């Protein structure tokens, strides 16, 4: 009889641990960054940490978002066989530059100093098979050396110049718009002033002119009669 409460308590604890794992968002996919990439993967030597299946992605990429749950499942299945990881290239640009990432998602397999590009379907079974032995069907390339301090400074300089160019372009466009708007207002204001001044000028006294002409004609007639 004492065994039943113990079993019940164990079941409750197990449920609690499972719920806690879900809340913590535990994943079998390692998040790599520019700072941790070489330290964790030992990519340039390929010696101590084993094989790595790595996804290079961007958070805004729709294909990457659809791949995320599949890739998590790949990490769960390959746990203990292959290290499964991902790199956000938007926040770790050096890793993207090192492996010449041009599109998202890009998946590469690292093994013993060589890198193998994955170009198959983005399915769980295909990715798992590639990481286990499918990479052997692809010609490997030597893994690029990790970026140096100069590479980091150059990347930061390029990013800074790019940001400055964007800011300048926005300010230049705003200045052009303001100038065009001010020019338009000036033309409209000038036109309005001309119209108002023209309409406010007094009309010619036509009745005065007419009376003067009549008087002149009358005087001429009277003078003719006197002459006769």
The residues assigned a catalytic role are: 61, 64
CA distances to 27, 59, 69, 71 from 65, rounded to whole Å, are: 15, 7, 8, 10
- What does the alpha-carbon distance between residue 208 and residue 216 come to, in Å, rounded to a whole number? 12
How many residues in the chain? 228
In SS3 terms, 181-197 reads as HHHHHHHHHHHHHHHHH
Take residue 69 and report the two structure tokens written for it.
Answer: 């749950």
Instruction: Tell me how far the alpha carbon of residue 176 is from its chain's centroid.
Output: 25
Q: Are strands 106-111 and 83-88 parallel, antiparallel or unpaired?
A: unpaired
Angle at which helices 62-77 and 124-132 pack, to 10 degrees? Answer: 60
- What does the alpha-carbon distance between residue 1 and residue 210 come to, in Å, rounded to a whole number? 133
């Amino acid at each position: 009889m004492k065994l039943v409460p113990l079993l019940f308590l164990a079941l409750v604890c197990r449920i609690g641990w499972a719920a806690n794992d879900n809340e913590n968002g535990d994943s079998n996919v390692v998040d790599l960054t520019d700072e941790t990439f070489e330290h964790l993967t030992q990519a340039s030597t390929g010696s101590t940490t084993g094989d790595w299946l790595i996804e290079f992605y961007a958070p805004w990429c729709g294909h990457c978002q659809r791949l995320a749950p599949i890739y998590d499942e790949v990490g769960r299945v390959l746990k203990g066989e292959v290290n499964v990881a991902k790199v956000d290239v938007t926040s770790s640009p050096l890793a993207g530059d090192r492996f010449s990432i041009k599109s998202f998602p890009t998946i590469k397999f690292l093994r013993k100093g060589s890198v193998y590009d994955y170009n198959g379907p983005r399915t769980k079974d295909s990715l798992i098979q590639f990481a286990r032995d499918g990479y052997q069907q692809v010609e490997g390339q030597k893994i690029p050396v990790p970026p140096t301090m100069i590479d980091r400074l150059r990347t930061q300089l390029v990013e800074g110049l790019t940001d400055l160019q964007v800011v300048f372009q926005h300010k230049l466009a705003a200045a052009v718009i303001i100038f065009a708007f001010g020019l338009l207002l000036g033309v409209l204001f000038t036109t309005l002033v001309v119209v108002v001044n023209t309409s406010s000028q007094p009309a010619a006294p036509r009745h005065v002119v007419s009376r003067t002409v009549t008087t002149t004609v009358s005087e001429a007639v009277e003078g003719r009669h006197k002459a006769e």
